[in-house]
Structure 1
């Protein structure tokens, strides 16, 4: 039974990690283009920063463990995108 719970938790954590990675990539690209960030998966949070001509998006989400007695795991994904230059030669204004 314990092995089954561990296996299911692993699958849930990996799935949530992949969703965070997709969301971080989408957010970084949208902000680099000067667009509004897309909607995040439920229960996720995002931190957006700019480092020179790079936009960095970090998305985090909690993963509940079965049984409710153990603390939650937090999965995090980070994506970076280059700021796209507009026709006037300047980066977008975000």
Structure 2
């Protein structure tokens, strides 16, 4: 039973990682196109798990998005959370000036 619980927990953690990677990529592309950063952050937070932290940095050359979430197994909320993060970088579109 413990092995099954651990396997399910691992699957949930991997799923959260893949979700963070996908959302970070989409947010980096949107921010690199010049969309307002506050809108990019709001969309990224709504596309990930509750409590996600989203950081966006944009300059004339690159745009970087980092998403971090803490995941706990649903069957043992008292266990420490595993911190999962993903980072995506995109080339900033020409014409952006800070």
Q: Which TM bucket (shorter chain)?
A: 0.7 to 0.9
Richer in helix (by share):
2
Is 2:90 the counterpart of 1:77? no
How many residue pairs get aligned? The number is 89
Please, what is the CA RMSD of the aligned residues?
1.7
Where do residues 1-94 of structure 1 align in structure 2 (5 Å cutoff)?
Answer: 1-35=1-35, 36-37=39-40, 38-39=43-44, 40-43=47-50, 44-65=52-73, 66-85=75-94, 90-91=95-96, 93=97
Q: Which has the larger radius of gyration?
A: 1
Q: Which runs of 5 or more residues in structure 2 are unaligned? A: none
- Superposition TM-score, scaled by structure 1 size: 0.83
Runs ≥4 residues deviating over 4 A:
none
* TM-score of the pair, normalised by structure 2: 0.80
Q: Partners of 2:59 and 2:5 in 1: how far apart? A: 41
Cα shift at 1:51: 5.0
Unaligned ranges ≥5, structure 1? none
